Chains A and B, each alone.
Chain A
Amino acid sequence: MSIKLQKFEIEKKKLESLPLFYNYILYNDFPEADAGVEECVSFNEKLNCYQDHTPPEKIISKFIDFSKD
């Protein structure tokens, strides 16, 4: 499934003052639920949204010595 958002009609002058983030949202394509291995997302029925599967910011255990290898 792919969702293509409509481009809103916005005055050019107003558009120039909007942050880039706003432009990003306007043209964003959602990744497909059944995309390849590289797209680490899945559709979460409970939350009715796509869930991004990314590692935690915090190290869970200090098992691997990252100063080696």
Chain B
Amino acid sequence: MEGHIIDTNRNNFFMLYADCIPVKGYTRTMICDTANGELFFVDNTYYDLILELRELTIGEVAAMLGEDDLPEFATFLEQMTAGDLGTFVEDPGLFPPIAEEWDSPFRITDAIIDIRDKQHDYNGLFDQLNALLCPYVQIRSYAEQSPEALNAILSAYDKLSEFRHIEIVLKYPEDFDENGYRNILSDYRMVSLTFYASKNDREIAHHRMSFIKQTFSSCEQCGIINKKSMSLPGLSSFMEHKNHNSCLNRKISIDESGRIKNCPSMKKDYGDADNVPLAEVLKDRAFTGLWDIRKDQIKVCKDCEFRYICSDCRAYVEDPSDIYSKPLKCSYDPYTGQWEETMHEHQKAIL
């Protein structure tokens, strides 16, 4: 019974679908099903087997294996087909791999604007971001923002609907005016609100208004990498993560003081947003150079099977003198395959 799948496909090739991409890590291999957003993990010996299966028929591979391995081989093929990760083909040449490229029509794909006390020139910022075709903006407020204050920010620019989504993360106010915030969502369809420091977790207005208990006081709390921060592996996202820095690529940020940065947590700034056009900063190779730091270049991360779905962090690294060192707030050890439960103690030790 175990050999049935081998016998019936002896002259065929087994191929993973082109959008199911194996990523070899130190301890195991992750097969990333970018079409269905699913992850599968197999032993690293199967990574080598997957490569062999591109060149050799099932019969030829079976002949290379010992009798003891054939049931395992059959189970592997059954699991791969049952998981809809691949299929048997007569001519693998008809199924070329997907080009591992990424590009975007947007000069900037996402922007962060941090706010506290200083009032930014919101009209100017939104207008410049729109001119750069930026579709996504995240506004992070370290203070309470009343519905009237939010309206003043959002009404500053009359073409706000050209943005696909504007996420506002703000402190839960003591005198929470639900109707006022609902009106903001009604008036600005591209906006979602996330209130932190809330007493309860809940979501209302179809997920566009959500509440979390965590509390934030500055951008220093950014950079958390854990299981939940992994991106769902869509093909475009996977290719961007593989070819560029998944956090900083095509990103521009304004910190709470109005300084232009790759990310608000980074030390280096490129001038005051009130005086320096964002488009000018994009001409600076020092700014855009960080966009191309790939996971394959980063210490430890290069051995991690999650490297092409992890969004990385270059602001907080284990060795601040080495831009290629591991993200400080990553809780995964690819050499043991374990997620650390005591990550915060680990961070303290390093700091």
Contact = CB atoms under 8 A, between A and B. Distances in A.
B189 A40 contact: yes
Nearest to B253: A61
Contacts of A55: 136, 165, 167, 192
Closest 4 interchain pairs by CB? A66-B228, A53-B190, A42-B161, A60-B138
A62 B311 contact: yes
A59 B164 contact: no
The contact size tier of chain B is 35 or more
Contacts of A67: 226-228
The contact size tier of chain A is 20 to 34
A44 B201 CA distance: 34
A5 B159 CA distance: 30
A37 B169 CA distance: 19
Chain B CB within 10 A, most for which of A44, A59, A63: A63
13 contacts: A38-B206, A40-B208, A51-B162, A58-B311, A59-B231, A61-B140, A62-B313, A63-B169, A64-B196, A64-B214, A65-B228, A66-B228, A68-B213
B186 A37 contact: yes
Contact of A53 (B110, B189, B227): B189
A64 B194 contact: yes
B149 interface: no
A53 B165 contact: yes
A66 B229 CA distance: 7
A21 to B, nearest CB: 16
B246 interface: yes
Contact of A68 (B162, B205, B214, B311): B214
B206 A65 contact: no
B125 to A, nearest CB: 15
Interface stretch (B63-71, B116-124, B232-240, B293-301): B232-240
A55 B232 CA distance: 13
B185 interface: yes
B110 A60 contact: yes
